[in-house]
Chains A and B, each alone.
Chain A
Amino acid sequence: MIHIAWWILFFPLISFAIIPFIPEAKRIFAGWIACVGIFFSFLITLRFARPMFDAGEFHTWYSKINWILIPGLQLELGFFIDSLAILMLLVVTGVGTAIFYYSLEYMEHDEGYKRYFAGLSLFAFSMIGIVISGNLLQLFIFWELVGLSSYLLIGHWYQKDEAADAGKKAFLTNRIGDFGFLIGILLLWTFSGPAGSRTLNFLQLNASISSFVQSSPAHATGLTIAMLLIFCGVLGKSAQFPLHVWLPDAMEGPTPVSALIHAATMVAAGVYLLARMFSLFLLSPVALEIIAYIGGFTALFAATQAIVQKDIKRVLAYSTLSQLGYMVMAIGLGSAAVGMYHLTTHAFFKALLFLGAGSIIHATEKQNIFEMGGVIKKMPFTSAAFLIGTFALIGFWPSSGFFSKDKILALAFSENRLLFISSAITVFLTALYMGRAISLMFFGASKIRKKLHEPSQKILMPLLILSILSLAGGFFGFERFLHDPNHHEMSGPNSLVIQLATVLGLAGVFSGFFFYRIGEKNRKSLLQPFSWAYEILMRKYFMDDLYDFLIRYIQQPFAKLLDWFERTIIVEGAVNHAASFTALTGRYFKKLQTGRIQTYLSVFFSGVVIAIYLIRFGALH
């Protein structure tokens, strides 16, 4: 049992290794190999999950091999599978399989078909690696690998400047966060015990850090700093404010990639990290509070921007930011279980929304929602799937989103009223922008000239499966997986919160929906007084301008200064002069090398005589 756990990790890696060797003429196999790889991983994960589904038993599997063993530093490679990891693995491999399968058709005529599936397999490998890592350093390695595969897939259409730039932006923004993450890991390592017995192992870290915190009050501050630095990694990967800027641009990648990586799994890795290290975060209430506020702020901040986006994928991207904010907030408010629950349901319905949008984009070859309209008549199945996803996103009963979002709201209601209010506003805004998108995409007069038809079963099957999961996911009881002594109990349903959320959701959908039904002229006149707000939202609250300013006027001059310092002081001054000094001394000492053997011997003998004299009579005696 324990040995097959490695295969969860290695099946996608094997696919990745095989795909480049497939001849271009038979490239269809590349897609199938990738699909089979992730599907096998999914099957093995199910094997691990079965005791929990059947009997509600909670096992923990742990295994390791030693990697680096030098005195004072022991590093190991290992896996650690508990209920949290299994839940995440189910999401990654399950949703992954659906999306891989979907890609078979979606990318069928793409030039970089093999490269695409190789990238997807590499991503699956690294993502699974994050989930099952047994220690922080190993997790960090896979964390970076995930960043790399994300970069490769965003830039899949690298001939387009926007895609290439978006890839770079994603990678660099993540690097900023990961830099903090790495420092945080090193800090935790030094905190984890006296030199020689330090560890980064998840199993031991908890005990050693809590004894560290209890030993002195000043240590609590140190831990807060370390945990906030680790949270920096989450800021980057899960795209929380202020490092959220990369995610909307990442939509330049192929739509299945957006669904898998930039909605369902990779961006959720940050939330997973928070849940994985939750017992450590619990030791630092200050850090948790900051995390909660950042999450709540991101949720609201991103939802407002989603209202004005014209590209359907960007609407969904901002929505993802907003939902990730919810998850981070839930963990910050003290319940990793609620955060992970929303992560799971969000993975289902957001993947569904992206795949539905992809199906429409694939058929219409348009992404602008103002250029669509009337799609529901031409593509009823896809539209139904998209609508189910929308209902789950807004959180209507009985969809899965209802259950998880309600738990988050109830948690906020009992823990922090300010955050509850902002979350409630976010619920309204979510419904508003989704109502707007639906209204523009599916209803009204069609603006599409092309003849539309439903895609083949390769696209429809994943839509069907994800629709079922989005609808019924709330009844599967995924929260059972999170019944862990380390995690808080989930709060029960709160009828006031449920009613409020439903009313807000309905109000949002209707206002969004009908506002775009009233005709363009009326709408323009209504919106006229708010054009300044529209401008701010379209400019993304000037965040990109702010970063542009920071880079152009602060980072760039600083880099120039460093460049000058390096060129003139270090290279010209230190390095070159050291070299010429060596050359100069060499020119003089060369004269000692006469080439006459007897001269050498004379020197040698006199040296020996002097040495003997010194040893016998002189200073060395």
Chain B
Amino acid sequence: MIPLTHYLIVSGILFAIGALGVLMRRNIIIMLLSIEIMLNAANLSFVAFSSSHADFGGQIFSLFVVAVAASEVAIGLAIAVLFFRSRGILDPNEMNLMKD
């Protein structure tokens, strides 16, 4: 039996990796992937808590998160692809046409 703490440590590490990825990479697709990593870190802790407390709520929540993540990626990737087609860039800092 692996204790809860270990799951949480892995989850925390995954979350930190995801957060750093979003903050530091200059590629919008990598940033989207990093967000996925963060979401999955949250999922992992949901499931861990769920099994340790013998409560199904956490597992149901993680399913929700998966569904939300899927739709988010669908939209986010579509935007990224369209943006690359029209302007040929993926760096979010260059996306500044609306700035005054």
List residues of A whose CB falls within 8 A of some B CB: 595-598, 601-602, 605
Contacts and interface: CB of A to CB of B under 8 A. Distances in A.
Contact of A602 (B23, B92, B96): B23
B99 interface: yes
Contacts of B93: 596-598
Contacts of A596: 92-93
Contact of A605 (B23, B98, B99): B23
B99 A601 contact: no
B96 A595 contact: yes
Contact of A598 (B23, B96, B98, B99): B23
B42 interface: no
18 contacts: A595-B96, A595-B98, A595-B99, A596-B92, A596-B93, A597-B92, A597-B93, A597-B95, A598-B22, A598-B23, A598-B24, A598-B92, A598-B93, A601-B22, A601-B23, A602-B23, A605-B19, A605-B23
Contacts, number: 18
A598 B95 CA distance: 12
A421 B92 CA distance: 98
Contacts of B99: 595
What 7 A-B pairs come out closest when comparing CB atoms? Answer: A595-B99, A597-B92, A595-B96, A596-B93, A598-B23, A602-B23, A601-B23
Contacts of A597: 92-93, 95
A470 B94 CA distance: 94
A602 B19 CA distance: 9
Nearest to B98: A595
Interface string B40-54: 000000000000000
A570 B59 CA distance: 61
B41 to A, nearest CB: 14
A595 to B, nearest CB: 5
Nearest to B99: A595
Contacts of A595: 96, 98-99
A347 B31 CA distance: 89
Interface of B: 19, 22-24, 92-93, 95-96, 98-99
Nearest to A598: B23
B91 to A, nearest CB: 10
Nearest to B100: A590
For chain B, what secondary structure do more than half of its interface residues adopt (helix, strand, loop), or is it mixed?
helix
Nearest to B28: A597
Contacts of A602: 23
A601 B92 CA distance: 12
Nearest to A602: B23
Nearest to B25: A598
A601 B22 CA distance: 8
A601 B96 CA distance: 16
A578 B15 CA distance: 45
Nearest to A608: B19
A583 to B, nearest CB: 15
Given A595-B98, A598-B23, A602-B23, 8 more contacts: A595-B96, A595-B99, A596-B93, A597-B92, A597-B95, A598-B24, A601-B22, A601-B23
Contacts of B23: 598, 601-602, 605
A602 B22 CA distance: 9
A609 to B, nearest CB: 10
B99 to A, nearest CB: 5
Contacts of A605: 19, 23
A596 B95 CA distance: 8
Which of A595, A602, A605 has most B Cβ within 10 Å?
A: A595
A331 B93 CA distance: 85
A602 B98 CA distance: 21
Contacts of A601: 22-23
A479 B20 CA distance: 96
A120 to B, nearest CB: 62
A448 to B, nearest CB: 83
A596 B23 CA distance: 11
Contacts of B22: 598, 601
A595 B92 CA distance: 9
Nearest to A597: B92
B65 to A, nearest CB: 18
Contacts of A598: 22-24, 92-93
A605 to B, nearest CB: 6
A601 B25 CA distance: 12
A15 to B, nearest CB: 60
Contacts of B95: 597
A461 B93 CA distance: 92
A602 B95 CA distance: 18
A216 B22 CA distance: 75
B3 to A, nearest CB: 21
A108 B85 CA distance: 80
Nearest to B24: A598
Nearest to B96: A595
A395 to B, nearest CB: 86
Contacts of B96: 595
B75 to A, nearest CB: 16
A171 to B, nearest CB: 53
A493 B24 CA distance: 107
A598 B22 CA distance: 7
Contacts of B98: 595
A381 to B, nearest CB: 86
A602 B23 CA distance: 6
A602 B24 CA distance: 10
A595 B96 CA distance: 7
A463 B89 CA distance: 95
Which has the most chain B C-beta neighbours within 10 Å: A596, A598, A602, A605? A598
A618 B23 CA distance: 26
A509 to B, nearest CB: 90
